[in-house]
Amino acid sequence: MATDQRQADPNRTLDLLWDVQAPPTRGPRPALSVRQIVDTAIAIADADGVAAVSMRRVADALGFTTMSLYRYVPSKTDLLELMVEHASEVPDVPPELTGWRDKLRWWANDTVDIYRRRRWPLDVPLNSPPMGPNQIKRMEQALAALDETGLSGGEMLGILVALSGYVRGHAQLATTLADVESRTGTPQAVWDQAYGRMLTTFVNADDHPTLARIVADEAFDSYAEPDDDWLGDDFAFGLELVLDGIARYVERRQAAMSPE
């Protein structure tokens, strides 16, 4: 088995994330720290993407052997988890924000901005719900915003999952579109032109009556030149739809909980 594929131990990963792992008791005095290793791996991912990160490359960058890194970070899975955890600090919720909706809007925009600044965390597979300090802080922020609604813990967690899914899904879509030229060798404008040709040539009123009407109304024109690579207007529009749905659910639940 390749060294980068060593089996992960979720409890060991948890100890690394919270920095409560026992220090090495055998071998020479530690010459590295876990944070040095993680910061080096993050720098590699920032420059070349997460696929370029390997224990060997990190070791080479630090001037150590690959095997020596395993004394600190026992598997590549652990390394990736630590990279995502330390890729960005989580700011505090601005104190001037009041009401769950404003707080969740800030939370969603701040979360998507993390992906805007560093896209590679989206390429790291999710092995579990959030476990690291920064991730738990972000989780607490969203739940604290919802806590004033009177919803149950299970309901608040369900809303958090739905909102997180929207934010991550948008970030993945925007990343995919923004990287189309580097991935295919063809500029985004050429792909847009081909899509426009499809809409005007192959969409027809007999087979696609609703879509054909929308095309005829020039509703797609606003998507031809998005405001930025990250489709910011689309994100804001979709976020308000999600928040509207949450608001309606909260209203319905509060009405059901109110005494007659």
For residues 68 and 167, what is the distance between their CA atoms, to the nearest angstrom?
38
Asked if residues 182 and 165 have their Cβ atoms less than 8 Å apart, the reply is no
Domain 3-86 listed as CATH 3.50.50.60: no
Please tell me the CATH superfamily of domain 100-257, with its number.
Answer: Tetracycline Repressor, domain 2 (1.10.357.10)
Asked if residues 38 and 79 have their Cβ atoms less than 8 Å apart, the reply is yes
Per-residue burial over 144-156, b if 16 or more Cβ lie within 10 Å, else e, is ebbeebebeeeeb
For residues 74 and 246, what is the distance between their CA atoms, to the nearest angstrom?
42
Extents of the domains making up the chain: 3-86, 100-257
CA distances from 27 to 6, 68, 168 (A): 21, 10, 42
For residues 141 and 145, what is the distance between their CA atoms, to the nearest angstrom?
6
For residues 183 and 175, what is the distance between their CA atoms, to the nearest angstrom?
11
Task: Indicate whether 1 pLDDT > 50.
Answer: no
110-158 tens-digit pLDDT: 999 999 999 999 999 999 888 999 999 999 999 999 999 999 999 999 9
Mean pLDDT, the chain, rounded, equals: 90
94-108, 121-135, 220-234, range with the lowest pLDDT: 220-234
Task: Indicate whether 245 pLDDT > 60.
Answer: yes
56: nearest Cα among 38, 68, 43, 72? 68
Please count the CA atoms within 13 angstroms of the CA of 89 that sit on its side-chain side. 3
The length of the chain, given as a count of residues: 260
Asked if residues 16 and 82 have their Cβ atoms less than 8 Å apart, the reply is yes
Asked if residues 103 and 97 have their Cβ atoms less than 8 Å apart, the reply is yes
Dihedral sign, CA of 235, 236, 241, 242?
Answer: positive
Alpha helix stretches (DSSP H) within 147-187:
153-178, 180-184
pLDDT at 23: 64
Asked if residues 238 and 166 have their Cβ atoms less than 8 Å apart, the reply is yes
- Of the two residues 92 and 259, the one the predictor is more confident about is 92
52-91 tens-digit pLDDT: 999 999 999 999 999 999 999 999 999 999 999 999 889 9
Task: Indicate whether 171 pLDDT > 80.
Answer: yes
